[in-house]
Amino acid sequence: MVDPTPGGSRPPREPSHLEVIALEGIPEIQTDDDLAQIVVDALRATPGALPAHGDDVLVVTQKVVSKAEGAIADLTAIEPRPEAVAFAERWDRDARQVELVLRHAKRVVRMDNGVVITETTHGFVCANGGIDASNVGPDRGTIVTLLPDDPDASAGRIRVAVREATGVDVPVIVSDSFGRPWRYGIVDVAIGVSGLQPLEDLRGTPDRDGRVMKSTVRGVADELASAAELTLGKRSGRPVALVRGARFIRAEGSIRDVLMPESMDLFR
Amino acid sequence: MVDPTPGGSRPPREPSHLEVIALEGIPEIQTDDDLAQIVVDALRATPGALPAHGDDVLVVTQKVVSKAEGAIADLTAIEPRPEAVAFAERWDRDARQVELVLRHAKRVVRMDNGVVITETTHGFVCANGGIDASNVGPDRGTIVTLLPDDPDASAGRIRVAVREATGVDVPVIVSDSFGRPWRYGIVDVAIGVSGLQPLEDLRGTPDRDGRVMKSTVRGVADELASAAELTLGKRSGRPVALVRGARFIRAEGSIRDVLMPESMDLFR
């Protein structure tokens, strides 16, 4: 049975109850593992996850996507440029990792205080280009994960596998932990989507009192990623969660919809 | 019965299931309404909300807090300075609202492209100083809400009332919708907390493979606020949600813990 697409072009209903279920039984992921099949198996192994509902969203953390896709690098093979060496020496960083960040950058936004903030080739502005050494696997001291090449496509492959296995078209988000200017702490945001609009644009619609809202665009995919993180954490070995009951709009969205164009960017 | 404080100084467990329940029956809030009592009544009126659990968190949106506390202004009483008039004319904004934003600012971070980004007197960096004309109530065309004077204290008052009424000490977050540089869309974040640490600092703790994590500070209060928003939306008339099953640390935290000190701010 293929699920109908609630929402669609109709205004989505206002849900009042949300559930987030961390999927169980996902093993340590290795390069070339069939992550989509592993997610399907985990959906089947997790009590309450199936049957999928029309308002479910799967959130898959970047780390397992990158590992399965082989989006990793071994620092021992990296020759840092002098700029990376100087920055690393000054701030007690690994020059090879700084070099990797620069190689995967479209531009450097800030490079100061031990922090390298770049715009990645995808258009994300984040610290260290999303390159990360935590939870890459045991005994892999010089291995780091890179961001997936095309996180929308990564999400799409998992979505197709789930649809083929369960008959239900569940939107998929690939998430990663990003810092923010002015606020301490990292929060999970979406870096890839398939099957949902990452934003819900309420501009021009009336608020509860009939007043037209001028600037309300909900960052719903990012909020879904953050909600999922609350059940996944950083140490649990749970890299995938199902979010059930959220309000979002089904569509063939892209994470590119979230990227602020240069003309509107006040913080270049 | 007073609930024990799970977490405390022990490492919190890793939850695998989260629920968010939007509270029912909250009326349009007016100045001097007893918001804490209204939240208690709503907890009692919402199926499944009580008895409260040890890992519950209440998320209350800023709009109702500001309205109950009288943190509102009538634009008809505001005389804008010439700078506000010029900016408003250029970008089709209301000069009186721009004036109010400037009055409540510690400093202007950016003022361009129709957007005024300030650091508020609280230390939040956000668009329009958190001053907002949507959902203020019917027939109130010139009324805007300001941020509460002391959102930690606002959260604390609701927490005390819930504890006195139910015997359970439920942490409280006051949330608001903030934009972000480089990403379209607003997401709900915490602007006040009582009874929990807004951050979970994992620096120095081992990851799943035993590698010490160097920069992982979870912005857990912001993620809780975002998770709550998924059940509240902007048009639903549901301003309060209970989040059940999240991992967080109980403590007498303050939202000031989240503010990035000037010395670490690369985007002043």
pLDDT single digits (tens) B176-230: 999 999 999 999 999 999 999 999 988 777 777 666 666 689 999 999 999 999 9
Residue B5's pLDDT band (boundaries 50, 70, 90)? very low
Q: Which among B202, B222, B264 has CB closest to A113? A: B264
This complex has an ipTM of 0.91
pLDDT of the residue at B15: 66
Q: 């942490």: which residue's tokens?
A: B171
Q: Under an 8 A CB cutoff, do B18 and A19 touch?
A: yes
**Which CATH number fits the domain A72-144, given the four candidates 3.10.450.50, 3.30.1300.10, 3.90.1660.10, 3.40.50.2300?**
3.90.1660.10
CATH code, residues B22-71+152-257: 3.30.1330.100
What does CATH list as the number for A19-69+149-259? 3.30.1330.100
| Backbone phi and psi for residue A219, each to the nearest 5 degrees, phi listed first | -85, 65
Nearest CA to A126 out of A95, A100, A101 is that of: A101
CA distance B16 to chain A (A): 5
Residue B235 is predicted with a pLDDT of 67
Each domain of chain B, given as residue ranges in start order, spans 22-71+152-257, 72-144
Three-point CA angle B92, B97, B99, nearest 5°: 105
Between CA B109 and CA B124 the distance in angstroms is 11
Q: Which residues contact B117 (CB under 8 A, 6 or more apart)?
A: A266, B108, B109, B110, B111, B125, B126, B127
Cβ A243 vs Cβ A228: under 8 Å: yes
- Chunked into runs of 10 residues, chain A (268 residues) has average pLDDT values of 38 73 94 96 95 94 97 95 97 95 96 94 96 71 93 98 94 97 96 97 74 78 97 83 94 96 87
Chain B contact set for A199 (CB, 8 A): 184-185
The reply to whether residue B233 touches residue A247, judged by beta carbons under 8 angstroms, is yes
What's residue B46's pLDDT?
95
Residue B149 predicted with pLDDT over 90 = yes
Spatial contact of B141 and B149, defined as CB atoms under 8 Å apart:
no
Residue predicted with more confidence, B135 or B86: B86
Q: Cβ B17–A17 below 8 Å, yes or no?
A: no
Q: How far is B231 from chain A (nearest CA, A)?
A: 5
Q: How far is A15 from chain B (nearest CA, A)?
A: 5
Name the residue of chain B whose CA is nearest to A17's CA. B21
For the entire predicted model, the pTM comes to 0.92
Going by C-beta distance under 8 Å and a sequence separation of 6 or more, which residues neighbour residue A138?
A: A28, B209, B210
Domains B22-71+152-257 and B72-144 share a fold: no
Identify which of B182, B208, B264 has the shortest CB distance to residue A135.
B208
Given A20, A113, A208, which is nearest B135 (Cβ)? A208
CB contact under 8 A, B210 and A138: yes
Helical residues (DSSP H) of B114-243, grouped into ranges: 151-166, 220-232
Lowest mean pLDDT: which of A75-79, B8-12, B144-148? B8-12
Beta-strand runs (E) in B132-268? 143-145, 172-180, 183-194, 200-201, 217-218, 240-244
Q: Which of B178, B223, B249 to mutate to test the interface with A (most CBs of A within 10 A)?
A: B223
